[in-house]
């Protein structure tokens, strides 16, 4: 990510991936952990939204016994033992490795070229290293591994969370990693991928993750080039050429680094029209005008729906003119976000509320709050 | 000395249609049409004709057509007709061959080798007739990030912002000075800019005092090497200030307004004696280096209490990317790049046709350099020269421009036919002249309307093309070269433009 690579001409940049997808997310806002049945069944219900070239899950509240340690899910392609040795040497040099093991898989599930996937629970040697925070230190080491190590790719690196993904329909990935049998969490997000121009690659499936932030995304952003260039100004260099990567870096920049609340960030990604801003109260008008002026290059133009999550929050957002679907649902402490309402009702037949948030209006499910209901009275 | 020049144009008059109304005679400032009352016949002095088409348009019976003269020298690829004529002209006068308007040579026009994208299947195109489509553009320096604090759950911007200007459409009228063009033409630009929510540029000839209250907030005022008309009130009346270092039509040399054009009001506005030549020095004599430029930028900012963005306009020359980077680091809020095809009221032909590089390449290079250096956000880029239609505008934006300057296109909208005789002061269309008889034929109401129509027509077309690409705000196209593809370009050209070839 942090890279001073200068390209000779943008002409040589690879083409962007084009993909359309299905998304689902479920959270228990009281923090109670639950199994994967709902997420798996819901995404199975939206089978036509994927084509079997990528599926993945992000689970929060995954490793309570190791919640103070960064959990690295690392994939070794071609089951490359040499790569594993190098990576482990690198990890031992840079971190304390508290515990590590192979992520158990079900050998009876037939998936396409499965890599070896291992998990490590690690912590940096010191709280702060040369003025760099723990988080930044972990990020830069993880990026180094992704970039420079052959056959090594880190799926996720947050605390008390993990990403499981691969080539196949999401339910196949779930079976392969035995998600429904082995794990519980208070947030599950899932993605089913329908790429149109790339072959399947285990690392290319969603969710994308930076520390404990994950992004699952459906859409093709027409502003990709503008967004990418702006992120480069902030030293985020895209290497995967997907819209989701751009979205993930933008979230990292605005939410983690600049600590802007999602309510503001959503107005950067999907700002109100000038015609609406014109009629706002003076203070709001000034805020939105300034946001649009300064963050114009981060407007995500064209269709998208995104589900962003971290340990505390699960957020759903669709583009400013709602060109991709999203439905929110709630029952007791459960909040659902889905590409299709049918999938929510399939896994929660006695749903209390279901609503469609308007374009640019985030649905924010937070631990121990009812914030997700804020978008209810604005629903379409 | 008997002239060896061949006439440039032939005037054909259909006698069966001519009603001897003598309108052509009255309209022609070059004395081409002559009436012989004894014979009741119109004659044409073709050697005087500049091909401006005024007579052909005015003729009530469509009796006139003006075409290139068929007389030809022996075919010679090296010695073209232009070269013959220019050389002979110099042999007769011993002077510099002058010309007006932009470079007309056949250098590659990159706009014509770039094509745009549209959405199909994987994302939807957007219909501008049914959905909002936004062209609003801010020009000026932007902070890298905003500091936002939450107060009682309400976000509040803490960062201090640099002055920015809001444009309703990313098209600005380029610098054309009062003196070079007539008061009516000048005022038409000001009125059209105001009506369309954009800016006009005063050029280096000052802003007449009586226009400041009404049009100041739409004016970009220039501070050029001659410093004509510059004082505190002039600077403070404007929306934006521009230091003119160079002009695309004549990089490396200054402006030249002959004394004959310096009438009373122009003299007052420029703060020079009436009838004196207004010659701008080639360089700004207080800017011999980048640190000098920085001092002038901050002098202007001091004079205007840091309330107005400052632009620096340079001609596109070989190392324009490095120059632009220096300009941004010197403190400019806007970099204006004027390319090879930029217009002029008067320039030596040799300079106009041979100095500078095409704006498309310069723009791509500047945008890339500023991004590589991480300072692209610190300035806006205004691209000038050779913009002929809305698709040129949109391609410039996709290459990285924040907005474009249009000069020639605006003049054409008012009537100009690019006869390239601006320097003679005998513009038959009343635009580039100070002759009261010629000026009064330009109706400022109608000219304003034509300019407003031009901007509105182009804006509609830009919206159509944006919508086709699945984009509903112009900022999402800025620098988005993924939406461009090149056709018929060589490897190095594609590389410089940073654009893939069609099909790649």
Partners of residue A10 in chain B, C-beta under 8 Å: 368, 481, 498-499
**Domain boundary residue, one of A129, A159, A189:** A159
Give the number of other CB atoms < 10 A from CB of residue B194. 18
Is residue A275 less than 8 Å (CB to CB) from chain B? yes
In a domain, A35, yes or no: yes
Alpha helices in B373-490 (DSSP H): 390-399, 408-414, 436-439, 444-468
If one compares B461 and A240, the residue with the highest pLDDT of the two is B461
Instruction: Give the HSE-up count for residue A83: Cα atoms under 13 Å, Cβ half-sphere.
Output: 20
Tokens for A129, please give them.
């290293």
Taking CA atoms, A288 is separated from A152, A277, B155, B209, in Å, by: 42, 7, 10, 36
Pairing, β B310-315 against β B334-338: parallel
Which residues sit opposite A121 in a β-bridge?
A71, A99
CB A205 within 8 A of CB A167: yes
The residue segments making up the domain with residue A104 are 63-159
CB B366 within 8 A of CB B335: yes
Q: What pTM was estimated for this model as a whole? A: 0.93
CB A164 within 8 A of CB A39: no
Range B201-231 burial, b when 16+ CB lie within 10 A, else e: bbbbbbbbeebbeebbebbbbbbbbbbbbbe
In this structure, the answer to whether residues A267 and A285 fall within a common structural domain is yes
- Between the two ends of chain A, the Cα-to-Cα distance in Å is 38
pLDDT, average across residues B65-75? 95
Per-residue pLDDT of chain A (380 residues; tens, 9 = 90+): 334 455 678 888 877 776 678 999 999 999 999 999 999 999 999 999 988 888 999 999 999 999 999 999 999 988 888 999 999 999 999 999 999 999 999 999 988 889 999 999 999 988 777 778 899 899 889 988 988 888 999 999 999 999 999 999 999 999 999 999 999 999 999 999 887 666 667 887 889 898 889 999 888 889 999 999 999 888 887 777 788 888 989 999 999 888 888 889 999 999 999 999 999 999 999 999 999 999 999 999 989 999 999 999 999 999 999 988 899 999 999 999 999 999 999 999 999 999 999 999 999 999 999 999 988 888 87
Q: What is the pLDDT of residues B153-171, one digit of tens each?
A: 788 898 889 999 999 999 9
In a domain, A7, yes or no: no
SS3 content of chain B, % helix, strand, coil (to 5): 35, 20, 45
R_g (Cα) of chain A, nearest Å: 20
Partners of residue B142 in chain A, C-beta under 8 Å: 293-294
Question: Where do we find the tokens 């970009």?
Answer: B220
DSSP states along B95-108: SPPEE-SS--S---
Catalytic pick among A21, A113, A238, A348: A21
Which pLDDT score, from 0 to 100, does residue B411 have?
A: 98
In a domain, A297, yes or no: yes
Which pLDDT score, from 0 to 100, does residue A7 have?
A: 66
Taking CA atoms, B345 is separated from B83, B121, B164, B179, B258, in Å, by: 22, 49, 30, 10, 11
Pairing, β B219-223 against β B240-244: parallel
Indicate the Cα dihedral angle B69, B74, B76, B82, nearest 10°.
-30
Which residues sit opposite B286 in a β-bridge?
none
DSSP states along B261-280: G--HHHHHHHTS-TT--EE-
Partners of residue B401 in chain A, C-beta under 8 Å: none
pLDDT, average across residues B188-204? 98
Of B144, B473, B496, the CB nearest to A299: B473
CATH code: domain of residue A142: 3.30.70.1150
CB A53 within 8 A of CB A167: yes
Instruction: Give the HSE-up count for residue A333: Cα atoms under 13 Å, Cβ half-sphere.
Output: 13
Is residue A197 less than 8 Å (CB to CB) from chain B? no
Tokens for B482, please give them.
């993924």
In a domain, A141, yes or no: yes
CATH code: domain of residue A315: 3.60.20.10
Of A196, A226, A261, the CB nearest to B122: A196
Taking each helix axis as running N to C, give the angle between helix A243-251 and helix A262-269, from 0 to 180 degrees, rounded to the nearest 10.
140
Closest among A218, A105, A121 to A164, alpha carbons compared: A105
**Domain boundary residue, one of A109, A130, A159:** A159
Q: Is the dihedral of CA A342, A347, A350, A354 positive or negative?
A: negative
Chain A / chain B CB contacts < 8 angstroms: 127
Partners of residue B156 in chain A, C-beta under 8 Å: 283, 287
Which residue from A minimizes the CA distance to B401?
A226
Tokens for A211, please give them.
């520390």
What is the 8-class DSSP label of residue B134? B
Which pLDDT score, from 0 to 100, does residue A4 have?
A: 44
Is residue A32 less than 8 Å (CB to CB) from chain B? no
**What architecture does CATH give domain B138-144+169-501?**
Alpha-Beta Barrel (3.20)
Tokens for B4, please give them.
């060896």
In this structure, the answer to whether residues A182 and A142 fall within a common structural domain is no
Residues near B78 by beta carbon (within 8 Å), at least 6 away in sequence: none
In a domain, A5, yes or no: no
The boundaries of every CATH 3.20.20.70 domain in chain B are 138-144+169-501
**Domain boundary residue, one of A159, A187, A206:** A159
In this structure, the answer to whether residues A126 and A274 fall within a common structural domain is no
Closest-CA distance, B195 to chain A, in angstroms, reads 18
Q: What is the pLDDT of residues B342-380, one digit of tens each?
A: 999 999 999 999 999 999 999 999 999 999 999 999 999
Alpha helices in A161-222 (DSSP H): 170-177, 179-182
In this structure, the answer to whether residues A167 and A246 fall within a common structural domain is yes
Could B478 and A302 be called an inter-chain contact, meaning their C-beta atoms sit closer than 8 Å? no
Is residue A280 less than 8 Å (CB to CB) from chain B? no
- Max CA separation in chain A (angstroms): 63
Q: Residues for chain A: how many in total?
A: 380
Closest-CA distance, A208 to chain B, in angstroms, reads 21
In this structure, the answer to whether residues A150 and A236 fall within a common structural domain is no
Closest among A284, A165, A21, A173 to B154, alpha carbons compared: A284
In this structure, the answer to whether residues A230 and A305 fall within a common structural domain is yes
Of A11, A220, A261, the CB nearest to B494: A11
Which residue from A minimizes the CA distance to B375?
A233
What is the 8-class DSSP label of residue B434? -
Closest-CA distance, B470 to chain A, in angstroms, reads 6
Taking each helix axis as running N to C, give the angle between helix B359-372 and helix A224-233, from 0 to 180 degrees, rounded to the nearest 10.
50
Of A18, A220, A225, the CB nearest to B480: A225
Tokens for A27, please give them.
């959270």
CA A255: distance to chain centroid?
13
The boundaries of every CATH 3.30.70.20 domain in chain B are 9-95
In a domain, A6, yes or no: no
Q: How many percent of chain B have pLDDT more than 90?
A: 94
C-alpha to C-alpha distance for A86 and A96, rounded to whole angstroms: 16
Which pLDDT score, from 0 to 100, does residue A10 have?
A: 82
pLDDT, average across residues B49-73? 96
Q: What is the pLDDT of residues B417-453, one digit of tens each?
A: 999 999 999 999 999 999 999 999 999 999 999 999 9
Specify whether A21 is catalytic.
yes
Could B122 and A220 be called an inter-chain contact, meaning their C-beta atoms sit closer than 8 Å? yes
Tokens for A349, please give them.
């037949």
Partners of residue A222 in chain B, C-beta under 8 Å: 119, 123, 469-471, 476, 483
Is residue A303 less than 8 Å (CB to CB) from chain B? yes
C-alpha to C-alpha distance for B378 and B329, rounded to whole angstroms: 9
Closest among B353, B385, B379, B352 to B366, alpha carbons compared: B379
Residues near B450 by beta carbon (within 8 Å), at least 6 away in sequence: B413, B414
Which residue from A minimizes the CA distance to B397?
A226
In this structure, the answer to whether residues A24 and A86 fall within a common structural domain is no
Tell whether omega for the bond before A207 is within 30 degrees of 0, i.e. cis.
yes
C-alpha to C-alpha distance for B141 and B139, rounded to whole angstroms: 7
In this structure, the answer to whether residues A295 and A319 fall within a common structural domain is yes
Tokens for A241, please give them.
């050429």
In this structure, the answer to whether residues A350 and A319 fall within a common structural domain is yes
Q: Which uninterrupted H or E stretch holds A90?
A: helix A81-94
Closest-CA distance, B467 to chain A, in angstroms, reads 10
Q: What is the mean pLDDT of chain B?
A: 96
Q: Would you call B17 helix, strand, or coil by DSSP?
A: coil
CB B239 within 8 A of CB B217: yes
Partners of residue B373 in chain A, C-beta under 8 Å: none
Domain count, chain A: 2
Alpha helices in A211-281 (DSSP H): 224-233, 243-251, 262-269, 274-277
Q: What is the mean pLDDT of chain A?
A: 90
Question: Where do we find the tokens 């008309």?
Answer: B229
Q: Would you call B143 helix, strand, or coil by DSSP?
A: coil
Could A232 and B124 be called an inter-chain contact, meaning their C-beta atoms sit closer than 8 Å? no
In this structure, the answer to whether residues A247 and A297 fall within a common structural domain is yes
R_g (Cα) of chain B, nearest Å: 24
Partners of residue A6 in chain B, C-beta under 8 Å: 372
Residue B390 has pLDDT above 50, yes or no: yes
Which pLDDT score, from 0 to 100, does residue A259 have?
A: 87
Closest-CA distance, B217 to chain A, in angstroms, reads 19
What is the 8-class DSSP label of residue B391? H
Q: Is the dihedral of CA A311, A313, A319, A320 positive or negative?
A: negative
In a domain, A285, yes or no: yes
C-alpha to C-alpha distance for B201 and B177, rounded to whole angstroms: 8
In a domain, A136, yes or no: yes
C-alpha to C-alpha distance for B112 and B106, rounded to whole angstroms: 12
In this structure, the answer to whether residues A120 and A215 fall within a common structural domain is no
Q: Would you call B172 helix, strand, or coil by DSSP?
A: strand
Tokens for A246, please give them.
């751009």
Question: Where do we find the tokens 């003729």?
Answer: B59
Residues near A276 by beta carbon (within 8 Å), at least 6 away in sequence: none
C-alpha to C-alpha distance for A249 and A142, rounded to whole angstroms: 14
pLDDT band at B391 (very low <50, low <70, confident <90, very high): very high
Partners of residue B372 in chain A, C-beta under 8 Å: 6
C-alpha to C-alpha distance for B413 and B256, rounded to whole angstroms: 25
In this structure, the answer to whether residues A87 and A229 fall within a common structural domain is no
ipTM confidence score: 0.89
Pairing, β A208-210 against β A55-60: unpaired
Which pLDDT score, from 0 to 100, does residue B301 have?
A: 97
Does 3.30.70.20 match the CATH number of domain B9-95? yes
Give the number of other CB atoms < 10 A from CB of residue B83. 12
| Interface test mutation site (partner A, options B366, B480, B493, B504, max chain A beta carbons within 10 A) | B480
């Amino acid at each position: 990510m942090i890279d001073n690579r200068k390209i000779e001409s943008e002409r040589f940049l690879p083409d962007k991936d084009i993909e359309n997808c299905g998304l689902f997310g479920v959270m228990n806002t009281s923090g109670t952990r639950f199994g994967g049945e709902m997420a798996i069944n819901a995404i199975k219900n939206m089978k036509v939204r994927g084509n079997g070239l990528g599926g993945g899950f992000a689970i929060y509240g995954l490793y309570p016994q190791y919640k103070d340690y960064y959990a690295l899910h690392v994939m070794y392609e071609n089951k490359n033992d040499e790569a594993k040795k190098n990576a482990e040497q690198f990890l031992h040099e840079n971190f304390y490795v508290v515990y590590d093991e192979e992520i158990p898989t079900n050998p009876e599930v037939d998936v396409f070229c499965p890599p070896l996937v291992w998990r490590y629970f690690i912590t940096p040697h010191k709280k702060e290293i040369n003025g760099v925070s723990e988080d930044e230190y972990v990020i830069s080491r993880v990026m180094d591994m992704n970039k420079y190590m052959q056959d090594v790719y880190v799926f996720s690196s947050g605390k008390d969370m993990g990403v499981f993904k691969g080539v196949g329909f999401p339910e196949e990935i779930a079976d392969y990693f035995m998600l429904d049998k082995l794990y519980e969490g208070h947030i599950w997000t899932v993605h089913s991928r329908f790429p149109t121009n790339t072959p399947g690659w285990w690392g290319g499936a969603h969710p994308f993750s930076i520390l404990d932030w994950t992004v699952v995304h459906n859409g093709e952003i027409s502003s990709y080039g503008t967004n990418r260039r702006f992120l480069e100004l902030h030293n985020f260099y895209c290497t995967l050429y997907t819209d989701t990567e751009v979205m993930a870096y933008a979230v990292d920049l605005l939410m983690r680094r600049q600590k802007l609340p999602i309510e503001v960030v959503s107005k950067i990604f999907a700002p109100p029209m000038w015609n609406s801003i014109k009629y706002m109260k003076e203070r709001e008008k000034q805020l939105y005008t300034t946001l649009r002026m300064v963050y114009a290059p981060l407007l995500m133009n064209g269709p998208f729906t995104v589900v962003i999550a971290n340990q505390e929050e699960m957020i759903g957002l669709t583009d400013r003119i709602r060109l991709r679907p999203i439905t929110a649902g709630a029952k007791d402490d459960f909040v659902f976000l889905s590409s299709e309402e049918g999938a929510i009702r399939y896994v929660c037949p006695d749903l209390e509320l279901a609503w469609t948030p308007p374009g640019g209006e985030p649905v924010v499910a937070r631990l121990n709050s009812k914030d997700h209901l804020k978008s209810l009275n604005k629903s379409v | 000395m008997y002239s060896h020049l061949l006439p440039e144009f032939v005037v054909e008059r259909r006698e069966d249609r001519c009603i001897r109304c003598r309108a052509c005679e009255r309209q022609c400032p070059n004395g081409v049409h002559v009436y012989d009352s004894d014979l009741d016949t119109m004659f044409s002095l073709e050697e005087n004709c500049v091909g401006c088409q005024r007579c052909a348009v005015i003729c009530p019976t469509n009796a006139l057509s003006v075409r290139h003269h068929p007389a030809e020298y022996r075919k010679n690829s090296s010695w073209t007709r232009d070269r013959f004529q220019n050389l002979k002209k110099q042999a007769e006068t011993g002077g510099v061959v002058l010309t007006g308007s932009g470079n007309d040579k056949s250098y590659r026009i990159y706009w014509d080798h770039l094509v745009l994208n549209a959405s199909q299947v994987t994302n939807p195109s957007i219909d501008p007739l049914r959905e909002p489509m936004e062209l609003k553009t801010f020009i000026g320096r932007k902070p890298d990030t905003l500091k936002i604090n939450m107060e009682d759950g309400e976000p509040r911007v803490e960062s201090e912002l640099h002055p920015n200007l809001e444009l309703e459409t990313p098209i600005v009228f380029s610098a054309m000075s009062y003196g070079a063009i007539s008061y009516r033409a000048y005022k038409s630009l000001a009125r059209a800019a105001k009506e369309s929510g954009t800016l006009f540029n005063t050029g280096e000839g000052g802003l007449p005092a009586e226009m400041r209250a009404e049009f100041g907030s739409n004016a970009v005022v220039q501070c050029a090497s001659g410093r004509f008309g510059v004082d505190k009130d002039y600077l403070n009346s404007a929306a934006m200030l521009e230091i003119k270092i160079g002009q695309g039509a004549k990089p490396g040399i200054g402006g030249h307004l002959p004394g004959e054009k310096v009438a009373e009001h122009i003299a007052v506005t420029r703060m020079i004696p009436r009838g004196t030549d207004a010659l701008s020095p080639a360089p700004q004599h207080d800017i011999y280096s980048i640190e000098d430029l920085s001092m002038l930028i901050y002098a202007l900012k001091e004079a205007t209490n840091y309330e107005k963005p400052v632009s620096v306009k340079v001609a596109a020359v070989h190392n324009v990317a490095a120059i632009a980077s220096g300009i941004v680091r010197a403190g400019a809020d806007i970099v204006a790049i004027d390319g090879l095809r930029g217009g002029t009221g008067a320039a030596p032909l040799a300079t106009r046709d041979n100095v500078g590089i095409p704006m498309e390449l310069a723009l791509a290079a500047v945008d890339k350099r500023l991004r590589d250096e991480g300072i692209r956000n610190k300035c806006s880029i205004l691209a000038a020269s050779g913009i002929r239609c809305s698709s040129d505008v949109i391609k410039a934006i996709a290459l990285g421009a924040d907005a474009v300057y249009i000069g020639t296109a605006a003049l054409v909208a008012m009537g100009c036919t690019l006869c390239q005789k601006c320097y003679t002061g005998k513009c038959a269309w009343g635009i580039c002249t100070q002759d009261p008889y010629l000026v009064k034929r330009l109706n400022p109401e109608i000219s304003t309307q034509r300019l407003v129509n031009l901007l509105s027509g182009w804006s509609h077309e830009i919206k159509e093309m944006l919508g086709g690409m699945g984009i509903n705000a112009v900022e999402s196209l800025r620098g988005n070269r993924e939406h461009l593809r090149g056709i018929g370009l060589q490897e190095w050209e594609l590389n410089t433009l940073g654009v893939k070839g069609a099909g790649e």
